[in-house]
Amino acid sequence: MSPLDEQQFQAQTRLLIRQRIRLMVNQYEVHAEAPGGKEGELLAFAQQKRMAFKEQVTLYADAAKTRPILGFKARKRIDLASAYDVTDAHGQPLGVFRKDFKKSLVSSTWHLEQPGLGVTTGAERNQAVAVLRRVWQFIPFVDAIPFAWPYHFDFRADDQVVFSVVKKFGLRDRYVVDIHDPRLDRRLVIAQAVGLDALQSR
């Protein structure tokens, strides 16, 4: 990114993320918000291979995948509690996020680390939905039907919400990401938001 592009990118306070399902891959489009709450400029495009043994996702500045801007990769193979290193286009570290496997048995919980800011912890906003979503998986015949209730995450530091990820109801997964702390690297926020969808069932 040029300095001007970087400044505009890091100034975003609301991101709109849409999942698109393709053969053997899941794709994610990250847009700035346009007037009226519509999708504006494309900020990032991500592609995730399904059933990858060692999760790795690259995000690009365009859908043609000509210019990578960041990526995240699991440290270990098939590890539900593995940490995911987030790097920039040159492979330099930006931060880390990981799922708290023990707490996630009841309510999905993630930890995001950004150098200089410490740890931000994200958990499902509605505990009743969190429990129902787990019970749903064990109901005969019903478990094959997608869970209908959207789930939302609030990420907190020092008991303050620094950003939130709200899932919208629809046939395809859509998310609204609101960023309240201007110090957060938007690339880390995007990586964590995409990871919530791509890795949530693991």
- Do β-strands 38-49 and 93-99 pair in parallel, antiparallel, or remain unpaired? unpaired
3-state helix, strand, coil in the chain (%, to 5): 20, 45, 35
pLDDT tens digits along 16-27: 999 887 777 788
Task: Measure the CA–CA gap between 114 and 181, rounded to whole angstroms.
Answer: 12
What does the pLDDT read at residue 198? 80
Which range among 69-78, 120-129, 161-170 shows the weakest confidence by mean pLDDT? 120-129
The mean pLDDT of the chain is: 83
List pLDDT tens digits, range 29-56.
Answer: 999 999 999 999 999 998 877 656 557 8
pLDDT in the model for residue 3 = 47
Contact 12, 179 (CB under 8 A): yes
Is residue 90's pLDDT more than 60?
yes
The CATH number assigned to the domain holding 153 equals 3.20.90.10
Please compute the mean of the pLDDT values over residues 81-108 and round it to a whole number: 89
pLDDT in tens, 176-193: 999 999 999 999 999 999
Please return the burial class of 24, using the count of CB atoms within 10 Å of its CB with bins 0-12, 13-18 and 19+. Answer: exposed
- Answer whether 0.75 is exceeded by the pTM: yes
Range of the domain at 34: 3-199
Q: Is the dihedral of CA 178, 122, 98, 26 positive or negative?
A: negative
Counting the structural domains of the chain, the total is 1
